[in-house]
Structure 1
């Protein structure tokens, strides 16, 4: 069961913050809740569909997917392995000279 303002999906709870913020601020917001919250990780097409429905609330969402330029690897901030991706045509569009984060839109 999820707390008020959170939405249950499987064994996870989701919350959308509608304020515009940077990826770093969004990550800090999750950590600052003090309940072990992380930016969303998407591990299946079904979970992607659920997250897509959240885009009705706001135009873009930050995900917990990051790109490490040193080893050219994608990773979830919660430590889960990247086993599912659903990139738009032409994506991912990464700069090999810097770490990056992933926005869902």
Structure 2
């Protein structure tokens, strides 16, 4: 669980990041979860976009992906959300 200061710090880092995944009409599936899991292992912080064709809302998708990938939802804003999961072996982001 992230504190409010940690969440604010991660939001600042994610502000300049590019979106690397999109969730469309296929919704949340095993392939998406596997890709998100791999990306979180390498990057620790990722930004995902939910398209209008998605059958679920942005918050629902964010919670589902975070639960499956064992990550924390940092921010949900508009059609995008940010996920964070610390890499225990090689941490890249130092939290406050």
Do the structures match in fold with TM over 0.5?
no
Q: Which has the higher helix share?
A: 2
User: Between Structure 1 and Structure 2, whose CA radius of gyration is higher?
Assistant: 1
Query: Which structure has the higher relative contact order (CA within 8 Å, separation 6+)?
Result: 2
